[in-house]
Amino acid sequence: MDAAKLVQVYIKMRDTKDAMVREHEAKIAAVTAQMEAIEQELIEICKATGQDGGKTPYGSFTKTVKTRYWTNDWDSMYRFIRDRDLPQLLERRIHQGNFKEFMEAHPGVLPEGLNVDSRYSITVRRAK
C-alpha cells in the first residue's frame, strides 16, 4: 500500500473508534447516573435507620466517607511540604514535560535510578 491510502484508512478507522468511544461513554454516563441515584437512596436508608449499611438477599451495602484533598495555592503547598519534610504527601511520578525541559537544559545530569523509554511514533492529521 502507498502512504496516501494508509493515511486515508487510518483516519477513517480513527473516526470510527472516536464515534464508538463517544457512544460507549454516553451509555456509561447514563448507567453511572442511575447508580449514583441508587447510592443516594441507600444513604437515605442509612440515615433513617441510623445504621452504616445493611444486608439484603442480593448483597450488602456499607456507608463510607470518601475524602479528597487538593489545593488552589501550590506555592504554599510546596512550602508546607518542604518545611515539614513531608514529600510522601505527593504522588510518585515525574512530570514528563518539565523533566524533558530539565534534561535539555542540563544534558548528562541524571538522577540515580532514572528509567527512560524512547520510541518512534506517527502522528496522522486530516487534510484541510
pLDDT tens-digit profile of 2-12?
999 999 999 99
pTM above 0.75, yes or no: no
Residues 28, 52, single domain; the answer is yes
Mean per-residue pLDDT over the chain, rounded: 95
pLDDT at 1 over 90: no
Q: Are 101 and 109 in contact (CB under 8 A)?
A: no
Amino acid type, 107: P
* Domain shared by 79 and 47, yes or no: no
Continuous segment of H or E residues that includes residue 14:
helix 3-49
CB of 39 closer than 8 Å to CB of 45? no
Decide if pLDDT at 55 tops 90. yes
- Whose cell is 454516553? That residue is 26
Q: What is the dihedral of CA 117, 120, 126, 128, to 10 degrees?
A: 110
> Is 34 inside any structural domain?
yes
Domain that holds residue 8: 3-62
What pLDDT is recorded for position 91?
93
Is 110 domain-assigned?
Answer: no
Same structural domain, 56 and 88: no
pLDDT for the residue numbered 84 = 97
pLDDT at residue 30 tops 90: yes
Report the pLDDT averaged over residues 75-98.
95
Radius of gyration of the chain (CA): 25
What 8-state DSSP symbol labels residue 67? -
Residue 69 lies in a domain: no
Q: Work out how many domains the chain is built from and give that number.
A: 2
